[in-house]
Amino acid sequence: MKITITGTPGTGKTTVAKILAEKLSLPVYNLTELIKKEKLYTDFDEKRDAFIVDIEKLTNYFKDKSNFIAEGLIAHYIPSDIVVILRAKPEIIMSRLEERGYSREKLKENAESEKIAFCANEVFELRPAPVIIHVDTSARKPEEVADVIIEGIKKGGLIEEIDWLED
């Protein structure tokens, strides 16, 4: 089973992926770490302090793997059986990332990108997997989020209605 977990920073991808990996006995790949370790980038963006991912190298890396969980901001570019989009209220994103020591600018940038559903919209446009799971993590513990994902896998998809612009 190939699962990708995407979403705005602070939605809980890394936390939930680890729990899910335990529950489903799958290896988990943190894309930020993997991209550095395997040099799956084209360049380094000094201004943004981030690597520019080589999508072709990234998808190639997973090409012959049939069982994995890959989690990261661009996980939905990797072909998979199941794509999970994690969501969280923008103010919750802010408070989760604040604890991580993000700058004011980064906090606002990520909250804004969650507000307009940047990542989710990409998934709903690309439809990179036959099964889509779209979950609101705002009022759930990571363990509960993992259980909702498992339920979604069993059902062959689970899409919660989420629109922060309507709040």
Ligand X SMILES: Nc1ncnc2c1ncn2[C@@H]1O[C@H](COP(=O)(O)OP(=O)(O)O)[C@@H](O)[C@H]1O
**Residue 10 lies near ligand X (rule: CB under 6 A):** yes
- Find residue 30's DSSP bridge partners: 71
**Residue 118 lies near ligand X (rule: CB under 6 A):** no
Residue 6, contacted partner among Mg ion, ligand X, none, CB below 5-8 A by kind: none
Beta carbon of residue 72, minimum distance to Mg ion (angstroms, whole number) = 7
**Residue 15 lies near ligand X (rule: CB under 6 A):** yes
Residue 59 belongs to what H/E stretch? helix 55-62
**Residue 74 lies near Mg ion (rule: CB under 5 A):** no
Residue 115, contacted partner among Mg ion, ligand X, none, CB below 5-8 A by kind: none
**Residue 142 lies near Mg ion (rule: CB under 5 A):** no
Neighbouring C-beta atoms of residue 50, cutoff 10 Å: 13
DSSP one-letter code for 130: S
When the beta carbons of 80 and 137 are compared against ligand X, the nearer one is 137
SS3 83: strand
When the beta carbons of 56 and 112 are compared against ligand X, the nearer one is 112
Give the integer Cα–Cα distance in Å for 2 and 127: 15
Which 8-37 residues touch Mg ion, going by CB under 5 A? 13-14
Which 144-163 residues touch ligand X, going by CB under 6 A? 145
Beta carbon of residue 18, minimum distance to ligand X (angstroms, whole number) = 8
Q: Is 134 exposed, middle or buried (0-12, 13-18, 19+ CB in 10 A)?
A: buried
Give the integer Cα–Cα distance in Å for 93 and 138: 9
When the beta carbons of 14 and 113 are compared against Mg ion, the nearer one is 14
Residue 52 has which token pair? 């520019």
Give the integer Cα–Cα distance in Å for 76 and 104: 27
Chain positions contacting ligand X, by CB under 6 A: 7, 9-15, 96, 99, 137, 140-142, 145
